[in-house]
Every structure is written in C-alpha cells, then in structure tokens.
Amino acid sequence: MRLSFLFLFFGIFLILVTASEDNETSEERNEKSNEVDNDASTSIEDEEYDEDDDESNPFSFDEDDEDEDREVDEIVDSKPIDYEGDPIGEWEDEEPLEPLDLDSEDEEELGDDKDDFIEFHKTFKENVKKANMKQTVQNFKINNKELKELQNEKKNFKIGKSPFMYMSQKEIDGLFAPDSMFENRPKPTKMLKSGLKMIKNEHKRSARGARRQPRRRTRKVKLPKNFDWRTKNVLSPIRDQGSCGSCWAFSATAPIEAAYARKYKKKIDLSEEQLQCVYNEGTMCTGGHPETALNYLLNSKGQATEKSIPYKGCRNSTCRRNINVAVQLESFADLKPFQMAKVKHALIKNGPISFGMHVNQDFHYYESGIFDAPCTSANKGGHAMTIVGYGEENGTPYWIVRNQWGTNWGEKGYMRVIAGVDLCGIESRYMYQVAVK
C-alpha cells in the first residue's frame, strides 16, 4: 500500500514538472517572438532554408561577418552617383513620329473611337504603315472596347491606353511566353551570395538545470520602409521592346547595367540584340528566359554595347558572334525560396532583380497605382521585368517594377505591384541577381 502511494506521488510530481516546463517553453517562445519585428516585411524566418548549405544557398553568410548591416546602411544613405563623361554605348534617339494617314473609310470605321485612336498615336508614337491601316483600325476598336469595359469595373489602380492597342489579340498574346518554354531549363552555374546572415541561438538551460535543445532563431533586420534604385542614379533609361516578345533579354540586361554602374561609376547601354545568340537565330521575339540569357553571358565572352549591336526587335535577326565585349558577368543567383526580408535586403545590397510573373487582362492597360489584379487560368502568359525597389502606401506594400514598354506606359515606364501575396507568381517563379567582373 505504501509502495503504491509512492508511485502515485511520483507520477503527480512528474506531471507538475512537465506542465511547468511547458509553460516556460511557451513564455520563452513569446519572449523570442517579441524580439523579432512582427512586420512580415522586416523579419526573417529561417526555417525555409538550410544555412549550412553554402553552395546552393545565396543567403548563407559567415556568422562573424558584422559588416552586413553597415554596408546596407551606407547604400540606403548614399547620394546618387555622380558620373564623369558620357554613358558607354550611346542610347539611340526615338524614331520620329509620322502623321496619321486616315482616309474616309478609316474614319468611318473608327466612328466614336477616332479621337481615342489619334490620342493613342500621339502618346505611344506608333507609326502605322498605310498598307496596315485598316487592320490596325479594326484591332484598335476591339481593344478600346475592352479597355472601356475594364474602366467601368471598380479597381484599386488606374488603367488607360496600352502601347499594343494597334495589335490583334493573337499578336498581343505572342508577347508573353508560355510556361512550357521554361521546362528543363539549365541551372545557374555559379551563385552570388546575398547580404543576409543568420544568427544561431546558443544552447540554453532552464532554471531547473534541464538542457534545452538548440533552436534556430530569427534576427531583427533593420530595413527602410522604402527603397528605390531610381534615386541612386544607377538605372539606364527605360527601353521599348516594341512588338517583339523579347522581355527576357531586357530583364536579364537591366541588372547587369545597374551592377556595372555601381561598380565602375559609369553608365552603360548594353545590347539586348546580342542575346539573339541565346536560342536559335530568328527566335528572339518568340519568348525566352532570363536565366538562359544569364547562363549564356556567364559562359561566353560577355555582353557588347547597344551601339555595337543595335536592337532591331524583329524576327529575322541573326546572331553576331564576333563582338567587342564591354561587360563580363561574374556570377548570378536565384533568390528563391522567397522570403520578404531576405529579398528586400538582397535588393539593397546587390542591386535590381530580374524576375517574371504572369500577366492578365488588366496588366497591359496599367496606368498608375498599386497593381493588385489576380491572375486566373485565362492569363496571357509569362512576362519578365526588373524589380528596382519597394515601398508602402496606406499600409499596402509594393514592389517597384521596371518594364520595357517605353516611358508612356504605366508610371513613366514603371509600375507598382502589391508585395507579399505572390500576385501572379511575382515571388515564386524566379528572381535573379548578378555581379559583374
């Protein structure tokens, strides 16, 4: 009887001890949670990646590297770069705008859309050959009707005329690449480390002396609410890919130009046309992938200037193999798996990011505001662009995105896309950064 009582007493004691330790564990977790910024845009969760996998993880850094935050602070506080001399490569002037040659039949066909068509022509400076005028007028009427229907819908952003309203729906869809194009694509051959290091928690003991298991913890990262590479004077002028599905070439090139400007304090205009060599000749306008372009540049001599190989934006271009190299790529990295603070930190430290997302019906009519229209199964395909900054407006976080549809599209060639919700795959498809030699 006495032995049974002792067993019962010992069992109750174990239950009380376990409950006490569970409460301590909960308190410790709450304390640790309070040590980390609760804002998803400024805190880091390290469970998604292995910090010991140095070869494949662009975010792994030596724990004793104490200069990371200081380097980022210096970039954020730095003044715009003051360049000496003219840019390398020489940007070409825009093609002069020719007057519209509308006959009476064209005007009758346009009807109430005539004024909109004239405004479109002046805004986007799209020269239309007389032989193509009738088809162009028909295409514009269809697209303008779609635009007006979309404008009647309630949206959080503003939409307006698109630079492609003169094209047929089939031609517009041809600007965006299907996902099937990116299957079995090659992997990057080198990785660029980003500017984020993690801190491991030391082994702790409870007040009762019981040894705690080591736990990886997050670290508070001091990131500004807004950051924009446009304010640092490292970005080249907005380009215009025209009616060619070459977004992938511009998306790959823009970060290289920015990396060169930051490193050598000199702006450069690099040749997207050279990337005709990445795939088979004559296929530049049928879509591609920035990763394939970066692999090509990494394993070739390098990239030439726009002046030496001007952009044509047509389907009958040929590959130029004898070139004068202006920039050599040292490495590039894919920033996935995505985590907000990691990518923001990398954006500040390593420069603009080549990325891709799906586009929907609203996308090419975007004019201003924070774009937040979700994609559906009816999206038009993939489109590659460049992230150059981030910010927040009325509590809504966004990415600052550089497109290559001219300065009259969007917010002077840029757009803001809602961040943190993987809108249309913006944070899950691919995100590449580069370093130049």
Active site residues: 247, 383, 403
**What is the C-alpha to C-alpha distance for residues 318 and 34, in angstroms, rounded to an integer?**
59
DSSP state of 373: P
Q: Is 150 helix (H, G, I), strand (E, B) or coil?
A: helix
What one-letter code names the amino acid at 262?
Answer: R
Burial class (CB in 10 A: 0-12, 13-18, 19+), 23: exposed
**What is the C-alpha to C-alpha distance for residues 316 and 241, in angstroms, rounded to an integer?**
15
Looking only at Cα atoms, what is the longest distance across the chain? 112
- Identify whether 337 is preceded by a cis peptide bond (ω within 30 of 0): yes
Dihedral sign, CA of 114, 115, 116, 118?
Answer: positive
Return the structure tokens found at 411: 């917010």
DSSP codes of every residue in 195-231: S----BPPP-B-TT-PBPPP-B--------S-EEGGG
Other beta carbons within 10 Å of 250: 26
What one-letter code names the amino acid at 163?
Answer: P
**What is the C-alpha to C-alpha distance for residues 161 and 408, in angstroms, rounded to an integer?**
10
DSSP codes of every residue in 354-407: EEEEEE-TTGGGEEEEEE-PPP-TT--EEEEEEEEEEEEETTEEEEEEE-SB-T
Q: Residue 402: which of 416, 421, 382 has the closest Cα?
A: 416
What one-letter code names the amino acid at 306?
Answer: E
**What is the C-alpha to C-alpha distance for residues 374 and 369, in angstroms, rounded to an integer?**
15
